[in-house]
Chain A
Amino acid sequence: DTAVSQTPKYLVTQMGNDKSIKCEQNLGHDTMYWYKQDSKKFLKIMFSYNNKELIINETVPNRFSPKSPDKAHLNLHINSLELGDSAVYFCASSRNSQITEAFFGQGTRLTVV
């Protein structure tokens, strides 16, 4: 069983479209995250949720909206996609927001054309 799973693994879409990336963790963790890795391989946190509540929003455009229907899921919806949104998006989870061992998913490679 994959601990943190993301779908889809690859996503190619046109500018202006709206898309969602789903993330699920089966570890029973309270805290989930979204990270973005750009073309230069820099990994940067975007959002963090603890028990379905937003605790980090790192100056991400409003076009990005995370949604946590329950503590095992943290989905990322992106409106009006732009070329610059092309990146690999990683979901992660940790037991709680003070525990430092985070488990990452395999990533979703988003390509906007």
Chain B
Amino acid sequence: DAKTTQPNSMESNEEEPVHLPCNHSTISGTDYIHWYRQLPSQGPEYVIHGLTSNVNNRMASLAIAEDRKSSTLILHRATLRDAAVYYCILRDGSSNTGKLIFGQGTTLQVKP
């Protein structure tokens, strides 16, 4: 599975937008880009995923670069509850194992 690179940590102010970057320069044509987050003392939680087009859901937006070598998870208005570790994961769409390979993620701190 292709690797992703994320900043170790980021800070944000409450009620401001947050842009969490992810680089995946070796992404293949069948790799989907997934984002999960892990709140303190909880299990990971699915956030969003996409292949080529930008995606929106109730939690966040995913902006995918045209060459697909990078993507950005956008939280439109950060709340204190959004403080978590955010994982950017590539998963081969042709795989039938459901396996997720987690990296070190980005620890997001949200300041009141």
Residues of A within 8 A of B (CB): 4, 31, 33, 41-45, 48, 50, 55-56, 90, 92, 94, 96-107
Contacts and interface: CB of A to CB of B under 8 A. Distances in A.
Interface of B: 32, 34, 36, 38, 41-46, 49, 85, 87, 91, 95-102, 104
29 contacts: A43-B102, A45-B100, A45-B101, A48-B97, A48-B99, A55-B97, A55-B98, A56-B97, A56-B99, A90-B44, A92-B44, A96-B98, A97-B96, A97-B97, A97-B98, A98-B95, A98-B96, A99-B98, A100-B32, A100-B34, A100-B46, A100-B49, A101-B46, A102-B46, A104-B44, A105-B43, A106-B42, A107-B42, A107-B43
B104 A42 contact: yes
A43 B45 CA distance: 13
Which 6 pairs across A and B sit closest by C-beta, in order of nearness? A104-B43, A43-B102, A97-B98, A101-B46, A90-B43, A104-B44
A37 B64 CA distance: 29
